[in-house]
Amino acid sequence: MTIKVGDHIPAATLVKATPDGPEQVSTTDFFAGKRVALFAVPGAFTPTCSAQHLPGFIAQADALKAKGVDEIACTSVNDVFVMKAWGQTNAASAITMLADGNADFAKAVGLTMDGSKFGMGTRSQRYAMLVNDGVVEQLFVEAPGEFKVSSAEYLLGAL
């Protein structure tokens, strides 16, 4: 079942890079008590994700925070080391990069896609959501092959 507005974020474990190495992050803890703009991409270093999706959230980070967003996070079905390198390559210090290496979170929210024909296996669909204290406040899921409603600009306009 796909997550929808009003639902609680399901319990899952993501991983983020820290100076001390990979750190497991409980979604229950991560989303508690704050308003988070979360966006998901099919893969780090892929064309649309690298040229448009991540750069848009980097460019709009201050504007999103001015509209009441406490934290901006990106998730992808990649390992923590790839997510760290992608964030560093793009100077994404304003974005918390969360690895979903086994697609556990993507599966839990019901937003997976089959990237097998590209050699990518199970991946996350492209989407953006606003989560307020663990509850989905807004959700924008892209149609296959599209990049419109999950952009930082679109989310900013919806706030």
What the block records as the tokens of 16 is: 């983020």
Query: Which residues make Cβ contacts (< 8 Å) with residue 89, sequence separation at least 6?
Result: 45
Q: Confirm if 151 and 58 have CB atoms less than 8 A apart.
A: no
**Average pLDDT over the chain, rounded to an integer:** 93
pLDDT tops 90 at residue 18: yes
Q: What's the average model confidence in pLDDT over 31-48?
A: 92
- Domains and their CATH numbers in the chain: 7-158 (3.40.30.10)
pLDDT level of residue 107 (50, 70, 90 thresholds):
very high
pLDDT in tens, 116-137: 788 777 889 999 999 999 999 9
Query: Which residues make Cβ contacts (< 8 Å) with residue 156, sequence separation at least 6?
Result: 60, 63, 64, 67
pLDDT in tens, 49-63: 777 789 999 999 999
- Sheet bearing 127-132, strands edge to edge: 21-26, 13-18, 95-99, 71-76, 35-41, 127-132, 135-141
Positions marked active-site: 49
Nearest one of 17, 148, 159, 13 to 95, comparing CA atoms: 17
